[in-house]
Amino acid sequence: MTPSERRILIVVHARRDDTVEAAQRVLTAVRAAGAVPVVSAEDRPELAERLPLDGVETLGVDVGVEDLELAIVLGGDGTILRAAETVRGGTAPILGINMGHVGFLAEIERDDMDDAVRRVIARDYRVEERLALAVKVLDADDRVIFETWALNEATVEKASRERMLEVVMEIDGRPLSSFGCDGVVMATPTGSTAYNFSAGGPVIWPTVEAIAVVPLSAHALFARPLVVSPDATVAVEVLERTSGSGILWCDGRRSHDLPPGARVVARRSSRPVRLARLHPAAFTDRLVRKFRLPVTGWRGSLGGMP
């Protein structure tokens, strides 16, 4: 490998015809710019059945994650979350091109793909860092038995539909409340429009660093969504008296079983997720566009205000 060569990872939802066609266009553009296209070992077998991959390197075999300059992702939010997992440990920013439905994490829509690829190859983009969570699971003896991270959310959930979890919540080392519930969501601003939103939690602007804590179907008088400092430590313990077991899910991709007595601790990760941004669009506009919110009757900026 030549150190001066640029390597760009392409992450694809390889089972969809439109994303495979888009991947071919991106591969062509990357090669034309003199850069080396890279695909993950996970994507390569399916892509190889549909595209010629001569000269395309494989991540983890031909090149390390630390050598990537950028990741271009073709798909929806699920594919972007997978890409964030793939490049974790490196510094490559992620450019999401929405080939799905909502695509809240994506920077652009498919119709603007060619111009976007040209711009990122020309390094005409800025990098936005998003808060991520570092997550640990401790057993009843306070031994760390599992460690992971989350871009959107870490969720403690009941493992059986017919059973309820008994949990106690803790903020910065102080107990807050115990109750029976279906679970607890601990979300970042990025994840505030995902599971947190569906659970009735607040939408948090990306420029506001905070952690949202949202109980799920709690049997309690005080079980409202909370917004705490980004430097807070949030813990959820599965109480020994609980009749069932729980499970931890992070971004819907990484999980670990939680027996009674287990403790999940979430705090800000020292490693944020880096997103490539092409447009300085207001987050309000993104909300309106993605959720198709009605804005009929808006008269523009208030008189005397910028």
Q: How far apart are CA 69 and CA 125, in angstroms?
A: 13
What are the residues facing 180 on neighbouring strands? 166, 219
Q: How far apart are CA 188 and CA 182, in angstroms?
A: 20
The pLDDT value recorded for residue 14 is 76
Other C-beta atoms lying within 10 Å of the C-beta of residue 305: 6
Q: How do residues 152-192 score in pLDDT, each as one tens digit?
A: 999 999 988 768 899 999 999 999 999 999 999 999 999 99
In order of 109, 146, 251, the CA distances from 257 in angstroms are: 37, 10, 15
The pLDDT value recorded for residue 173 is 96
The pLDDT value recorded for residue 305 is 45
- Could you tell me which of 206, 231, 236 has the C-alpha nearest to residue 218? 236
pLDDT at 265 > cutoff 50: yes
pLDDT at 101 > cutoff 80: no
For residue 302, what pLDDT band results from cuts at 50, 70 and 90? Answer: low
Stretch 4-9: mean pLDDT, rounded? 89
The pLDDT value recorded for residue 203 is 96
Residues 6+ apart with CB under 8 A from 304: none
Q: Which helix (H) or strand (E) holds 272?
A: none
Domain spans of the chain, in order of start: 7-130+274-286, 133-268
Annotated catalytic residue, options 77, 114, 124, 142: 77
pLDDT at 221 > cutoff 90: no
For residue 306, what pLDDT band results from cuts at 50, 70 and 90? Answer: very low
The pLDDT value recorded for residue 109 is 82
The pLDDT value recorded for residue 220 is 86
Q: How far apart are CA 109 and CA 107, in angstroms?
A: 7
Helix, strand, coil content of the chain in percent (nearest 5): 20, 35, 45
The pLDDT value recorded for residue 304 is 45
Give the mean pLDDT of the chain.
Answer: 91
Give just the sign of the alpha carbon dihedral 198, 199, 202, 208: negative
State the DSSP string of 16-52. Answer: SHHHHHHHHHHHHHHHHTTPEEEE-TTTHHHHHTTS-
The pLDDT value recorded for residue 280 is 79
The pLDDT value recorded for residue 102 is 67
- Could you tell me which of 87, 74, 88 has the C-alpha nearest to residue 21? 74
Q: How do residues 223-264 score in pLDDT, each as one tens digit?
A: 899 999 999 999 999 998 866 789 999 999 999 999 889 999
Is residue 141 part of the annotated active site? The answer reads no
Q: What is the CATH number of domain 133-268?
A: 2.60.200.30
pTM of the model: 0.90
Q: How far apart are CA 155 and CA 171, in angstroms?
A: 16
**Residue 239 identity:** L
pLDDT at 67 > cutoff 70: yes
pLDDT at 4 > cutoff 80: no
Please tell us whether the domain made up of 7-130+274-286 is placed in CATH 3.40.50.10330. Answer: yes
Helix (H, G, I), strand (E, B) or coil at 118: helix
